[in-house]
Amino acid sequence: MRVAAGRIGQMLNQSELGRTVGLPQPTVHRYLNLMETSYMLIRLPAYAVNRTKRLVRTPKLYWGDTGLALHLAGQSDPDGRHLENLILGDLMASPS
């Protein structure tokens, strides 16, 4: 969770994330799915007009709670990535 919190707003590469924490990619995938199911993580898919390109492009990783992401990453001051995460949370919460 700490490593994922440090990569807020970045492209999600599960293999590289697994190498960093010393876990196999399928385990990282299961953990990320569990955190996404429990609304801790948000995977924002890449936007492309062509649907085939959407499947190939890498999603970005965001957190459901920006404060939790700051705490897990060991940061005290938010930066631009955290503001981007906060705006995404507000957009997802607002009715269309």
Q: What is the DSSP string of 51-93?
A: HHHHHHSPPEEEES-HHHHHHHHT-SS--HHHHHHHHHHHHHH
Q: The whole model's pTM is what? A: 0.82
Reduced to 3 states, what is the DSSP secondary structure of residue 44? Answer: strand
Distance, CA of 94 to CA of 47 (rounded, Å): 20
Q: The domain 2-93 is classified under which CATH number: 1.20.950, 1.10.1060, 2.70.98, 1.10.10?
A: 1.10.10
Distance, CA of 89 to CA of 42 (rounded, Å): 9
- pLDDT, residue 55, reads 65
- pLDDT, residue 38, reads 95
Encode the chain (96 residues) as per-residue pLDDT tens digits: 999 999 999 999 999 999 999 999 999 999 999 999 999 999 998 887 777 766 668 899 999 999 999 999 998 899 999 999 999 999 988 886
